[in-house]
């Protein structure tokens, strides 16, 4: 009986901490967390700790720790961004660091929200453990942080970023479009987000970068053979991919024409410009070969 009481107090302590975190992160939407949390309390009192599925407990604990870790990183990045120079104040190469750190804060926010969504869906029984019928598309978490932060391909980043929406756009627009399906998909995305100047520019730039990515990596796979050269190539394209994504993210999140102007007039514009030049040269070469 004493063990049961001690275990209940421990579970209640975890729930109280999770509730405080949910209130801080979600505000009034924290009710979406409280409902499964209260259901957990009911299960603990009605079934007893020995009957509660241990795997579920530790899986949810691990997800909660991940969310907490991301929130802590967000606080650190927010302090770094707020105390540093902005795009209006940065000088030359400093603007690259400003862009990277600001985009890092945006990405951490997305990762935290997606992880919380995944947590809630799993708690409700609709997560990755939920069985699907044969032939039915399985559940996909919106963001694979490891894949997104380590990939050296913009096209792969695009497919893995917000996967549920990306899959929906692929079915709705890309697979149905007969002419320029890639461009149609990104134009629709810009319209969906509100057609602000930064969003229109950002999504059109993103479409060009994906097209360039296909040509660059196809060309590289034909001519790069030795592993030292391939390692150097992957390292450079990884850094370039992350910086281009940061550029696009600042354009989309900035929205306004003034923010877009500051971004375009900074040294950061060199990175998408390199891919645009390579797109032009490789497309011309491909046309000659054909």
The alpha-helical segments, DSSP class H, found in 84-196 are 94-124, 145-150, 154-160, 163-169, 181-193
Query: Would residue 22 count as lying in a domain?
Result: no
Query: Would residue 226 count as lying in a domain?
Result: yes
pTM given for the model:
0.76
Query: Would residue 261 count as lying in a domain?
Result: yes
Residue 159: half-sphere exposure toward Cβ, Cα within 13 Å: 11
Contact between 278 and 269 under an 8 Å Cβ cutoff? The reply is no
Q: Which of 11, 162, 196, 290 is catalytic?
A: 162
Q: What percent of the chain has pLDDT over 90?
A: 34
Number of domains in the chain: 1
Query: Would residue 276 count as lying in a domain?
Result: yes
**Annotated catalytic residue 287:** no
The alpha-helical segments, DSSP class H, found in 151-269 are 154-160, 163-169, 181-193, 197-223, 227-254, 257-264
Query: Would residue 33 count as lying in a domain?
Result: no
Rounded mean pLDDT of the chain? 81
Query: Would residue 16 count as lying in a domain?
Result: no
Query: Would residue 239 count as lying in a domain?
Result: yes
Query: Would residue 270 count as lying in a domain?
Result: yes
Distance of CA 187 to the CA centre of its chain: 20
Element (H, E) at 45: helix 31-47
**Annotated catalytic residue 290:** no
Other CB atoms closer than 10 Å to residue 244's CB: what's the count? 22
Q: What percent of the chain has pLDDT over 70?
A: 79
Return the minimum-mean-pLDDT range out of 45-54, 261-270, 280-289: 45-54
Residue labelled with tokens 């053979």: 225
Radius of gyration for the alpha carbons in the chain, expressed in angstroms and rounded: 23
Q: Which of 193, 196, 217, 265 is catalytic?
A: 193
- Structure confidence by residue, pLDDT tens digits, 173-193: 888 877 888 999 999 999 988
- Structure confidence by residue, pLDDT tens digits, 81-112: 888 778 888 888 888 999 999 999 999 989 88
Average confidence (pLDDT) over 17-35: 72
8/48 Cα distance (integer angstroms) = 9
- Structure confidence by residue, pLDDT tens digits, 48-88: 555 555 556 666 677 777 778 888 888 888 888 888 778 88
Structural domain of residue 78, as residue ranges? 53-289
Q: How confident is the model at residue 232 (pLDDT cuts 50, 70, 90)?
A: very high
């Amino acid at each position: 009986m004493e063990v049961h009481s001690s275990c209940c107090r421990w579970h209640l302590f975890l729930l109280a901490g999770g509730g405080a975190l949910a209130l801080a992160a979600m505000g009034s939407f924290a009710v979406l967390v409280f409902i499964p949390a209260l259901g957990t309390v009911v299960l603990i009192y009605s079934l007893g700790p020995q009957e509660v599925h241990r795997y579920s407990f530790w899986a949810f604990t691990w997800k909660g720790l991940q969310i907490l870790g991301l929130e802590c990183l967000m606080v650190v990045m927010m302090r770094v961004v707020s105390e540093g120079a902005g795009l209006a104040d940065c000088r030359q190469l400093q603007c690259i660091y400003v862009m990277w750190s600001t985009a890092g804060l945006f990405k951490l926010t997305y990762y935290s929200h997606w992880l919380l969504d995944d947590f809630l869906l799993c708690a409700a029984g609709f997560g990755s453990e939920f069985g699907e019928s044969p032939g039915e598309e399985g559940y996909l978490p919106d963001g694979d942080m490891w894949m997104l932060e380590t990939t050296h391909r913009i096209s792969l980043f695009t497919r893995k970023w917000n996967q549920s929406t990306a899959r929906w756009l692929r079915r709705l627009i890309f697979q149905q479009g007969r002419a320029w399906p890639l461009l149609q998909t990104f134009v629709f995305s810009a319209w969906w987000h509100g057609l602000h100047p930064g969003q229109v520019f950002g999504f059109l730039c993103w479409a060009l970068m994906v097209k360039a990515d296909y040509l660059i990596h196809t060309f590289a796979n034909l001519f790069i053979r030795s592993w030292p050269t391939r390692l150097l190539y992957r390292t450079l394209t990884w850094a370039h991919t992350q910086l281009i994504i940061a550029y696009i993210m600042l354009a989309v999140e900035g929205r306004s024409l003034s923010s877009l102007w500051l971004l375009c007039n900074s040294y950061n514009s060199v990175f998408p410009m390199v891919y645009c030049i390579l797109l032009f040269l490789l497309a011309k070469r491909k046309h000659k070969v054909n």
